Structure 1
Amino acid sequence: MDHATPNLPSTSFEATSRFYLSLGFEESWRDEGWMILNRGGIALEFFPYPDLKAAESNFSCCLRLDDMDAMYKACKEAGLPEQCWGWPRLHPPQREDSGLTIAYMVDPDGSLIRLIQN
């Protein structure tokens, strides 16, 4: 089966791992130059970017989910605030003009993660 894995920046693998573990991800690989986190069929891969400023990040990816509500609930239960500023944060799901239901999460390094209901 073909698949893609987003490559995202991390200012600290330890901090990134702790954040995503709180959302139900598991660490499947880490060395000094690469880290892979998995949650079900989702794989996120991270590279070191120690000088990244979250406010200047333009990294993003889409997670197309069979149960977007469960993922959003995991984010809420991990304490991510629903707000329009700061890192990390959440934006509640809404039906967009495209017809898709999308929620938005911004991780501690400023990467925008779109949570899209399949």
Structure 2
Amino acid sequence: MANRIDNWGAALPKEYRSDSLGDIKQLGIKKLFRGIILAPSNSGKTNMVFHLVKNSPNVYSHLHIVARNPDQELYNYMKDKLAGYITIYDPSEPPRVDDIQKDPRGGIQFVIIDDYCWDKKLQHDIS
């Protein structure tokens, strides 16, 4: 009996594999990941998000930012540079998961929820 389970999905021929499988080599992480960045104010959380985006070229088809304060320098910069591939939502009207679940182009989307971990209304509305 083996002490591990083979990754059969990774062994499939290329025509059967989704583009979402694989790694972001520059970051040493999987293309599909869930992450939480928790830290106090002014500790560099937004900078870390920018680092993830900047080092993931041609991986994500769209970037969604749901931020309590979307008017931040790095978000404004990304909005200018990624026009057409980024949506920054109004903090008073967060999107529902179903609203961002499907990309018509079929690509992988990157969703950032910034500074809402204690917001009960957002937790209710976004689910």
Same fold (TM over 0.5): no
Give the TM-score range, shorter chain: under 0.3
TM-score between the two structures when normalised by the length of structure 1: 0.28
**If each structure's strand is expressed as a fraction of its own residues, which one has the higher value?**
1
Rg larger for? 2
**If each structure's helix is expressed as a fraction of its own residues, which one has the higher value?**
2
TM-score between the two structures when normalised by the length of structure 2: 0.27
